[in-house]
Amino acid sequence: MEHNYTTQKFIYECTDCGKQFGSDKTLYLCPNCSKENNESSPPKGILRIVYNFFEILQKNFLFRDFKKNIFLDLLPIDKIESLPKLKVGNTPLYEFDKLDNKDLPFHLFLKDDSQNPTFSFKDRASAIVSAYAKEKGFEIIVTASTGNAGSSLAGLCAAQNQKAIIMVPESAPIAKLTQIMMYGATIIPVKGTYDDAFDLSIKTTEKFGWYNRNTAYNPLTIEGKKTVSFEIFDQMNETIPDRIFVPVGDGVIISGVYKGFEDLLNLKFIDKIPTIIAVQSEGSDNLVRNLNNKEFEIKASNTIADSISVDIPRNFNLTKQFIQKYNGEYLTVSDDAILEASAILSRNTGIFAEPAAATAFAGLLSYYEENKLDNNSKNVVLLTGSGLKDLNSVQKLLNIPESIYPTIENLKKLIR
């Protein structure tokens, strides 16, 4: 059915049944399709935000804050002032033409989202969730996280004087847990996996009415993450790249990338969607491995890339729709390839990325080795988090020399 937009900035639309709902009430999942959900497959009833593109085109004006590079007409909030004061987004897009002193036959662009306030891409979603909660009067925001989403929400809530409650699997890296606690959030370690923490956070939302930030549960998270597409479009002089390599766990980041370019397509800023490549770790490939399966099959995850280690990708159905609709591509890479990619990236660019982010770069290196990158093509890699988030994963790459007595002769032995 077609919804009347006249009094609402956006509507919710179910990605499964297509039913539309007004935005006068806060919704998470389609009330009908979500009744079929179980613990052994990705949830149905994921909602997407739909704007009145006809009206935006008719007024021939897109409200844009150039200082923050925010398209307010394409965000589910009413005021830019509702956003946290911290600088979220507008992260650098660097271009490099060499790797290990070898000229590259293609253009390599690195979108460095470790430059966000809490050093990860997740700040984009947290900023929108925080702003929406502020406008709607929610006092407490809860989320489940393996670390990055939790530290992101904790940091931005601290900037907004909001209360954050973060549920994490007990195996989450200490650096991310430290961030959460330093930002003053309430941390709840949960025995079990991320999925166990996720399920508990949903129960608290139902029981206490807390606003829930969970990715692939709260449709606003995709709206925050899509802002990276607007920035890439702007930073590339209002053109699009040939390919974008995206690390994938739940499928929310890649859906956000698709959604951003799809919004630009609907507004006729672009005439096609770039080829977007989903890159997963071989040790946690539950999304890409099931793209062509009739029945969803879960394989227990085991990877150093904890931020994209997911048994049940919550945004599987929408991600699958986007990949099929826009001819997306996908691949998996080993943990060894991820570590190697992290080392190559660090020593060639000065950007130290966490394993999840290095996964996307490993995907590009794989395409390069297999001659899948056309000469002069423009290729963007999303680097979604800082390597300082998880120092343990790269310890095997390090060989710190023993200390020396301070003489020139001893020094010479260590200089290569």
Does residue 255 register a pLDDT over 60? yes
The CA distance from 172 to 190, in Å, is 10
Please check whether residue 228 is in contact with residue 113, taking contact to mean a CB–CB distance below 8 angstroms.
Answer: yes
CATH value at residue 365: 3.40.50.1100
How crowded is residue 224: how many other Cβ atoms within 10 Å of its Cβ? 30
DSSP-based three-state secondary structure for 242: coil
What confidence tier does 403 reach under pLDDT thresholds 50, 70, 90? confident
Tell me: do 132 and 254 sit in the same domain: no
Distance of CA 155 to the CA centre of its chain: 17
More confident site: 395 or 150: 150
Does residue 70 register a pLDDT over 80? no
pLDDT in tens, 152-189: 999 999 999 999 999 998 877 777 788 899 999 999 99
Tell me: do 243 and 177 sit in the same domain: no
Tell me if 323 is assigned to some domain: yes
Tell me if 183 is assigned to some domain: yes
pLDDT at 1: 42
Query: For the residues 201-221, what does the mean pLDDT come to?
Result: 95
Residue closest to 144 by CA, chosen among 228, 223, 205, 88 = 205
pLDDT at 234: 92
Tell me if 148 is assigned to some domain: yes
Mean of the per-residue pLDDT values for the chain? 92
DSSP-based three-state secondary structure for 346: helix
14-23, 190-199, 298-307, range with the lowest pLDDT: 190-199
Q: Which domain holds residue 284?
A: 93-118+221-397
Helix (H) or strand (E) holding 387: none
Does residue 110 register a pLDDT over 90? yes
Tell me: do 239 and 209 sit in the same domain: no
Q: Given 218, 245, 277, which residue is the final one in a domain?
A: 218
The CA distance from 127 to 224, in Å, is 7
The torsion angle over the Cα atoms of residues 62, 65, 70 and 74, rounded to 10 degrees, is -30
Query: Facing residues of 379 across strands?
Result: 108, 243
Residue closest to 281 by CA, chosen among 329, 337, 225 = 337
Q: What is the secondary structure of 212-252 as a DSSP string?
A: E--TTTSTHHHHHHTHHHHHHHHHTTS---SEEEEE-SSSH
pLDDT at 45: 97
39-48, 80-89, 386-395, range with the lowest pLDDT: 386-395
Tell me: do 200 and 303 sit in the same domain: no
Tell me: do 132 and 113 sit in the same domain: no
Number of domains comprising the chain: 2
Query: For the residues 83-111, what does the mean pLDDT come to?
Result: 97
Q: Given 186, 218, 250, which residue is the final one in a domain?
A: 218
Tell me: do 376 and 318 sit in the same domain: yes
The CA distance from 14 to 23, in Å, is 13
Tell me if 168 is assigned to some domain: yes
Tell me: do 104 and 176 sit in the same domain: no
What confidence tier does 5 reach under pLDDT thresholds 50, 70, 90? low
Query: For the residues 206-223, what does the mean pLDDT come to?
Result: 95
Tell me: do 127 and 189 sit in the same domain: yes
Q: Under 8 Å CB-to-CB from 176, ≥6 apart: which residues? A: 145, 146, 147, 148, 150, 151, 168, 389, 390
Query: Facing residues of 120 across strands?
Result: 385
Does residue 340 register a pLDDT over 90? yes
Q: Under 8 Å CB-to-CB from 36, ≥6 apart: which residues? A: 44, 45
Record the pTM.
0.93
The CA distance from 50 to 384, in Å, is 26
What confidence tier does 193 reach under pLDDT thresholds 50, 70, 90? confident
Tell me if 52 is assigned to some domain: no
pLDDT at 60: 63
Query: For the residues 326-339, what does the mean pLDDT come to?
Result: 97
Tell me: do 241 and 170 sit in the same domain: no
Distance of CA 258 to the CA centre of its chain: 12
Could you give the percent of the chain with pLDDT greater than 90? Answer: 76
Tell me if 5 is assigned to some domain: no
Residue closest to 264 by CA, chosen among 326, 329, 216, 217 = 326
Tell me: do 357 and 337 sit in the same domain: yes
Q: What's at 389, amino acid-wise?
A: K
Tell me if 172 is assigned to some domain: yes
Please check whether residue 56 is in contact with residue 73, taking contact to mean a CB–CB distance below 8 angstroms.
Answer: yes
Tell me: do 187 and 304 sit in the same domain: no
Query: Facing residues of 333 across strands?
Result: 281
Q: Which two structure tokens, joined as six digits, stand for 324?
A: 């099929």
Q: Which two structure tokens, joined as six digits, stand for 405?
A: 């007595």
The CA distance from 30 to 15, in Å, is 9
Tell me: do 369 and 320 sit in the same domain: yes
Q: Given 193, 218, 243, which residue is the final one in a domain?
A: 218
The CA distance from 232 to 135, in Å, is 28
Backbone angles phi, psi at 68, to 5 degrees: -100, -5
The torsion angle over the Cα atoms of residues 57, 60, 66 and 72, rounded to 10 degrees, is -40
Please check whether residue 333 is in contact with residue 309, taking contact to mean a CB–CB distance below 8 angstroms.
Answer: no
Does residue 248 register a pLDDT over 60? yes
The CA distance from 154 to 163, in Å, is 8
Query: For the residues 282-307, what does the mean pLDDT come to?
Result: 94
Tell me if 15 is assigned to some domain: no
What confidence tier does 228 reach under pLDDT thresholds 50, 70, 90? very high
pLDDT at 393: 73
pLDDT at 55: 86
DSSP-based three-state secondary structure for 64: strand
Query: For the residues 237-258, what does the mean pLDDT come to?
Result: 97
